[in-house]
Structure 1
Amino acid sequence: MRRALGFLLAGGAVALSAWWLWPAAAPLAPSMPAKAAGGAFAPSQQGTQPDGQVGVAASGALRVDAELRRLFDYYLAALGEHSLPAIRAELQRYLQGKLKAAALSQAMNLFDRYVAYRQSLAGMTVAAQTDLAQRLGRAQAVRRQYFNEAELAGLFGDEDRYDDFTAKRLAILANPSLSAAEKQRQVAELERQLPPALRAAREEPIKPLTLAQAESALQKNGGDEQALYSLRAGMVGQAAADRLSELDKEQASWQARVADFKRDRAAIASNSQLTAQQQQQAVAQLQAQRFNAQEALRLPAFAASP
């Protein structure tokens, strides 16, 4: 679910800028597509598996959700390498092993309407100066020509909610009558109104930065190792906190080894009884004794003079 939300967050409003990449409407009669080397449907999909999932509800009807849309988009990503009829035939072949006749028919009908919807977007002309809310509104109006309410909620519900959030956030940030503090307050309120799953998906990419800032604040206030662990466990979970603790120990050990090396290297450099060549040889021998080949690649960045 998190991966699907990440896909929608990355592709929602951005997709509206690429409508013209879609070909004009083409017949969707089945044809047998040729396989790429290695059994992949298209060369660009070599080494991948179909993205998304397909399933049925308890009633046996097709489950219409963002996972199904991701599956459609996975096959449609082969446009340019295969024709639409070939893509449709390959998708149908894939679904035949997963769905019974009624659900399969429903899936292919939905796919045909999804393609028609995307082609309709490709034919739209939207002025560059049109704001995001207007562009999203036009796209949503086009969708209603092809899908019923349940299908709209399943295929686009999360994307619509996030796009609405994005449009409102941009409007707040662009409002010259608001102070920086008021903008921050209103954006934070928008964040709180997002569904938990969408809010978590939005926060995921900035978690490392947020955690680093919280750790820095804790250390400035004299927080000890246990307080640091509790902070991490609360923000990223116990398993991640355990891994971070191990990384801290490894980093501390590495820094101690580098400090020892720098001290001994300095002693060699100050030994007036050795020639410059002998000093270089002694430092090289010291490095070889203390660090393996992989560690030696990292060493210059940590052991630069002084």
Structure 2
Amino acid sequence: MPGGWAETDSNGSLVPTPELRQLFEYYLSALGEETLPQLVARIEQALARLQEPARSEALATLENYLDYKLALGELEASYGYAATLDAHQIQQRMAEIRALRRNWMDAPTAEAFFASDEAIDQFQVEQLRIRTDQSLSEMEREQALTRAEEALPPAVREARRETRKFTDYQQARTELANDPQALSAWRKERFGEEAARQLEEEEARQRAWEVKWQAYSAELAELERLGIAGPEREAAIDALREDYFEGAEKLRAEALDSLR
């Protein structure tokens, strides 16, 4: 369950935060497993820890958020299907959704709940506009993309940079697959000594797992070909897992077997 959502000011009033929206979505993501009234009751139970007036304000915020979600679904349904949209059309739809949010929620709540999403959406529209602008040279395009990224909130910008590190790493692993020393040096330069060491150890564990998993899978296939059924089959598979795995690895093997 998300934490940090029960924030109040010196008067005991609710302070809207991104974490409060995360709390709502934590429960609402289970829609289908439970009914909406059941999930709303769970959220209300969580909000009961707040003192007044924050509790009533949080309940009102929840009601407004649910009404917004319903209105958003109707708005998106009205758009119909469009194979491709240009930057201007996407911008128009974003403006409508932004207005809808502020129609159902006050400005501080809308900002707290959606500022990050809206910044990312705007960045992606700007990316599309820049990439499709035929008047830009390659250098101008790269410079414009860099400026657009710099306009993102610091936390979002940092998250993108961290993600890009690992995207670059996957490429380096492919390019340096036959040169372990060069790959090790690349890790240290990009991630630092300690993080590089942890990454190398994790990859060694993953390689060891893959070897065991392949050997286990081969024996399991042979076992299945014997045509054993019922409790005897389950006991044989469990014994095979015991031979190859222990602890969390066995649980992982059971989960993967259930997906076969």
Q: Same fold (TM over 0.5)?
A: yes
The letter of the residue matching 2:31 is L
Task: Determine helix, strand or coil for the equivalent of 2:57.
Answer: helix
Where in structure 2 are the equivalents of 1:26-41 lying within 5 Å?
none
The residue number in structure 1 matching 2:195 is 240
The residue number in structure 1 matching 2:51 is 100
Q: Quick one: structure 1 residues 167 and 229, their matched pair in 2 at CA, closer, same or farther if it must change by over 3 Å?
A: closer
Task: Determine helix, strand or coil for the equivalent of 1:122.
Answer: helix
The letter of the residue matching 1:78 is A
For the 8 Å contact 1:169–1:190, the answer to whether it is kept is yes
Where in structure 2 are the equivalents of 1:53-64 lying within 5 Å?
53-59=4-10, 60-64=12-16
How much has 1:72 moved relative to structure 2? 0.7
Where in structure 2 are the equivalents of 1:189-228 lying within 5 Å?
189-211=147-169, 228=186
Q: Quick one: structure 1 residues 245 and 154, their matched pair in 2 at CA, closer, same or farther if it must change by over 3 Å?
A: same
1:74 aligns to 2:74 (yes or no): no
Cα distance in 1 for partners of 2:121, 2:170 equals 29
Task: Determine helix, strand or coil for the equivalent of 2:145.
Answer: helix
How much has 1:54 moved relative to structure 2? 1.9
For the 8 Å contact 2:172–2:183, the answer to whether it is kept is no
Cα distance in 2 for partners of 1:170, 1:91 equals 38
Question: Any gaps of 5 or more consecutive residues in structure 1?
Answer: 1-49, 255-292, 295-306
How much has 1:211 moved relative to structure 2? 4.1
Task: Determine helix, strand or coil for the equivalent of 2:195.
Answer: helix
Q: Sequence identity of aligned pairs in percent?
A: 31
How much has 1:182 moved relative to structure 2? 2.4
The letter of the residue matching 1:89 is A
1:126 aligns to 2:84 (yes or no): no
Cα distance in 2 for partners of 1:115, 1:151 equals 14
The letter of the residue matching 1:243 is Q
1:129-164, Cα deviation, whole Å (9 max, x unpaired): 553211111100111111222111111111111111
1:15-58, Cα deviation, whole Å (9 max, x unpaired): xxxxxxxxxxxxxxxxxxxxxxxxxxxxxxxxxxx345422234
The letter of the residue matching 1:137 is A
The letter of the residue matching 1:173 is R
For the 8 Å contact 2:8–2:54, the answer to whether it is kept is no
1:270-292, Cα deviation, whole Å (9 max, x unpaired): xxxxxxxxxxxxxxxxxxxxxxx
The letter of the residue matching 1:203 is R
For the 8 Å contact 1:143–1:152, the answer to whether it is kept is yes
Q: Quick one: structure 1 residues 224 and 88, their matched pair in 2 at CA, closer, same or farther if it must change by over 3 Å?
A: closer
Q: Which protein, 1 or 2, shows the higher relative CO under an 8 Å CA cutoff with sep ≥ 6?
A: 1
For the 8 Å contact 1:51–1:70, the answer to whether it is kept is yes
1:164 aligns to 2:122 (yes or no): yes
Q: Quick one: structure 1 residues 201 and 224, their matched pair in 2 at CA, closer, same or farther if it must change by over 3 Å?
A: closer
1:173 aligns to 2:137 (yes or no): no
